[in-house]
Every structure is written in structure tokens, then in C-alpha cells.
Amino acid sequence: MAHSPLVMTNVTKRFGAFTAVDNLSLDVPEGAIIGFLGPNGAGKSTSLRMALGVIPADAGEVRLFGEAPNILALRRVGFLPEERGLYKKMTTRDTIAYFARLKGLSASDAKARANELLETTGLSEFKATRVSKLSKGMAQKVQILSTLAHRPDFLILDEPFSGLDPVNQQVLEDLIRAEHDRGATILFSTHVMEHAERLCDRIVMMARGRKVFDGTLPEAFATLEEGASLNVEEGFDLAAALAPKGFEAQRAAGRGHGDAWRIVLPKGKGAQDALRAAIEAGAPIMGFAPDEARLRDVFVSLVGEAEAAALDAPLTESREEGALAE
């Protein structure tokens, strides 16, 4: 009988009086790409460590491939921790091959796999370069390659995009898609919602240690009130003009020229219906745009703007760079 790669049931973790993860239930089905989303400090990293048995849960149950986390199950997992760490004096090829051997590959297979990954990602010219001589971004790519060198069934990536420039973020997105196409199940945590929008089948949102959403992207966007933005000449009362036509208009932060309004769309009405109603009401329109739903908007609707503001906070330098082992 096949088991989900990861099932967490009513899991809680406390550090003294602080509850880092509160009653979390999570099911990661085989073959999915799941985004584990939330601001820094939401409990994502602690949850992933419990999933792997790195730290024990204070309550609840964790099942990795149907069993409590154990060495055999962990051989099927590739884990990229938030705190990066590589051996400075090793070369890039030896680093990737070393981690592959830890997961069960033979010496020859591990070396061949390292060469393959370095060639695929355009790093083959650096295969004999020591990690200490690599840029931060390049060292991070080597650690990511080390994570997937043994072709794991289940990839767990903790803030994998942190510290990468846009070009290398795209390279990593392509790698994640390639691993998924190969058949891997992928769970990655991030506080940058755009990556999840492009990659995920399903998302789980965390805030202050609690799960606040678990579902597909369409289900997430369905939680939002649909609307449209309309700019009219200053002084025109759009709310009064649209009320008789069944539309609610609210003042919005100024964008573009004139006065900015946001129109809330009643069920069954679209943005073009709102625009038509504004024209019929004689509104002096200077700009119009349907709402473009984003996952950040979903998060704001669930937890409020103050909590969502933490999404924009950068990782601290120590968390971003990690400590490279001697």
C-alpha cells in the first residue's frame, strides 16, 4: 500500500513558553508540488524539522512514507535546510558526490551524478573549484544540487530561493519542475508568494505557528472578494453614482490620475459589468483595471495587513548565508 510521503497530524512544538507550531495537520500526497508559505517566524522551518525527525514534536504524530521518521525513509528524502552549510575545502564535484554517497550511491555513480548536475546547470568549469572560492549564489546552487543528487522521491526545500539573484531563481524553478517531471514529490517553504504562484499544485499558509489555509490555488483565490480599480476625475462621488446600479465603491490608495476607487463586484458580476455601470452613470473615467488576484492578497485577507507585512521582511544575514563548515 502506497503512503503519502508526509503526513503530520495535530503536531505541536513548544520552546519554553513559546509555541512555535500549534496543532498542525498536513498531508503531502505523492507527486504534488506544495508551497509552505508564510512570513519568517511563522513556524515553517520548525515544522519541516519535525517532519524529518530532526526535532521531536511535543504532541501529535509525524509519518514519513507511512512510518515514524527513520534512516531508511530519510534515504528517500532530499532536504535543503534554511541554514546553508558546505565544507569549504572540498571541491564542488566532491561536495555533490559526497552527499550522494551519504544517501547510498556508489563512489562511481556519485561522481558521475555530480558531473551530470554540474554540466546541466552550467557549472562544469567549476567542478575542481573549492567551495571557499565560490560566490554565495554559486555555493547555494551547489548545495541545492547536493540535495537532489541521489534522485530523492521526496524533496523538502526550506527557503530555497533566499539569496539567489533573479536569474538563478529561475534556474532553481526550472530544476524544481524537472524534478517534479521525474516523479519527485516536492514541499518547499518560502515567504515569497510569487514562486508558489508559478510552481505549486497546492499551498499551505502559516501565521504565528498556525495553519490558516490549505488548498489549491483556485481555492485560495476564491476566498477573495472580486473587484476592479477605477480612477475618476477629482471630486466625482463614484459610490453615490454606482449604488443605484448595485455596485459598492470604496475609496482606495491613489494610483494614477484623479481619485482612486475600488469597486466590489457582486456575485455573478464581472469587472466589465462594473465599467459599463460607471459609464452609464456618467463617471468621468481616467483609468480602469480589473483586480489581479495574488497570493499575498489571500494572505492579507486571512490574517490582516500587519501580519502580512512580515512577508516583506528580508532574512537576516546569518539565516541567509548560514555558516560554512570548515
DSSP states of 38-98 = --TTSSHHHHHHHHTTSS--SEEEEEETTBSS-HHHHTTEEEE-SS---BTTSBHHHHHHH
* Distance from the Cα of residue 168 to its chain's centroid: 16
Do 6-221 and 227-290 agree at the fold level? no
What is the rounded CA–CA span in Å between residue 197 and residue 205?
A: 13
Predicted local confidence at residue 98, as pLDDT: 96
Is 220 in a helix, a strand, or coil? helix
DSSP conformation class of 266: P
Q: What distance in Å separates the CA atoms of residue 283 and residue 232, rounded to the nearest whole number?
A: 7
Q: Are 264 and 250 in contact (CB under 8 A)?
A: yes
CATH class of this structure's domain 6-221: alpha beta
Residue pLDDT tens, the chain, 326 long: 578 999 999 999 999 999 999 999 999 999 999 999 999 889 999 999 999 999 999 999 999 999 999 999 999 999 999 887 889 999 999 999 999 999 999 999 999 999 999 998 889 999 999 999 998 888 888 999 999 999 999 999 999 988 788 888 888 899 999 999 999 999 999 988 899 999 998 999 999 999 999 999 989 988 887 889 999 999 999 999 999 999 999 888 766 678 999 898 887 888 899 999 999 999 999 999 988 878 888 888 888 877 777 777 655 433 333 333 33
Cell 500549534 belongs to: 22
Burial 220-244 (b: 16+ CB within 10 A, else e): beeeeebbbbbbbeeebebeebbee
- According to DSSP, the residues that pair with 37 across neighbouring strands are 190, 205
Backbone angle region of 242, left / alpha / beta, with phi > 0 → left and psi within -120 to 50 → alpha: alpha
Classify domain 227-290 at the CATH topology level.
Alpha-Beta Plaits (3.30.70)
Core vs surface per residue 252-273: b (16+ CB within 10 A) or e: eeeeeebbbbbbbbeeebebeb
Handedness of CA 232, 234, 236, 238 (dihedral sign): positive
Contacts of 67 (CB under 8 A, 6+ apart): 73
What pLDDT is recorded for position 322?
A: 36
Q: DSSP state, 244? A: G
At 199, the amino acid letter reads: L
- For residue 130, the 8-state DSSP code is B
Amino acid letter, 164 = L
Residue-level pLDDT at 256: 66
C-alpha 78: how far from chain center: 17
Q: What letter does residue 256 receive in the DSSP assignment? A: S
* Distance separating alpha carbons of residues 35 and 28, to the nearest angstrom: 10
Q: What are the domain boundaries of the chain?
A: 6-221, 227-290
- Quote the strand ranges of the chain, DSSP E: 6-15, 18-28, 33-37, 59-64, 77-80, 154-158, 185-190, 202-207, 210-216, 227-232, 248-251, 259-264, 285-290
